[in-house]
Amino acid sequence: MANLYLTHRCDRGCPFCFARKVLKDSSNIDEILTLDEITQFLDHYGHEVGGVGLLGGEPFLYPHFDELINLLLQRGVFAKIFTSGTNPMPRALADMNLPDVLGKLAFVVNVGTRDTYTDARYVNLVKLLERFGPACSLSFTIFDLSADPTYLFDLIDRYHLNRDIRVGIALPIYNGGNQFIPKEQYKQAGDYFVETARKAAERSISLSMDCGFTACMFTTEQIGTLLAKGTALNFVCGAAVDVGPGLQTWNCFPLFRLGRVNALDYPDMNALKEALDKQCAKSLTPGVGIFDECADCEMYLKRFCQGGCKSFKSV
């Protein structure tokens, strides 16, 4: 699935966010991925684009959101919308109900505790969850290791959301620019993740790992616990194709500064991904994972784990 990075604009202000900070390095805040560029991308890759992620910034602040949703629906392209849900729903969504979106649109909603919202923004979030609950999944980024995740479970029960939470770990931007979990705290982050999985399982909720986790964050016993709790483990790089303004394309936001290519310069997705991998290889020093121990790690040698995010190589 390719990700369409629609706009730099976002009013949430998460300290670990890499998207907005990285894109501002080389772009005006008002620059957008135009509808014409999106159409060119869809036409060029055709049947290879069965679904797209809509990213920002905040997709709800994209000025052509309504037209884009109509375009994707007309083409039969499934869209997964990554949003904070704190802005008013665009007209295209406000005119829809749950049966209109099932199988066509889905929402990944990054949420925080109630105290992180103004009353107006929380009302917007609730409206989204009330209307499209079963089409919504929550996402959560491990950053504050003292945060109580119970509010996530309460939202899932209250609004009948998807009972799996996408969990990421706050990663650095290559060459700096955001706050993140230092690798020295990965064991603590692993303990936090396991405890969250236990609490989630008590509510019949499971967790899925986004990229950046390492197998050595967990003991063998903890990995067994996670599997028993229904956790979807992922210790390999899950970089997708991110397409931004001007059809500039990169592997993922943490590695944005390692180079970009034009999406239309390649005949198919495999060729595009190979070009992006080569761009990264030009800048990265050859070597193993983010820990010295990776060189002799059985998990790493068997490719069960890729040794953490390559963005740490500049930290």
pLDDT value of position 15: 85
Provide the percentage of residues in the chain whose pLDDT is more than 90.
72
Give the whole-angstrom CA distance, residue 262 versus residue 265.
6
Return the closest-CA partner of residue 108 out of 144, 72, 162, 68. Answer: 162
Whether this prediction's pTM lies above 0.85 is answered by yes
Exposure string for 263-294, b = 16+ CB within 10 A, e = fewer: beebeeeeebbebbeebbeeeeeeebbbbeeb
Most confident listed range (130-134, 236-240, 284-288, 296-300): 130-134
For residue 54, list its beta bridge partners: 4, 81
Give tens-digit pLDDT for 176-213.
Answer: 888 999 999 999 999 999 999 999 999 999 999 998 99
Six-digit token pair at 143? 């950053």
Across all residues in the chain, what is the average pLDDT?
Answer: 92
Q: What is the mean pLDDT of residues 156-171?
A: 97
What pLDDT, in 10s, does the model give residues 286-299? 678 899 899 899 99
Which neighbouring-strand residues pair with 80? 53, 106
Handedness of CA 262, 169, 212, 280 (dihedral sign): positive
pLDDT at 13: 79
State pLDDT tens for residues 48-82: 999 999 999 899 999 999 999 999 999 999 999 99
Which pLDDT score, from 0 to 100, does residue 26 have?
A: 67
The answer to whether domain 2-314 has CATH 3.20.20.70 is yes
Which position has the higher pLDDT, 130 or 251?
130
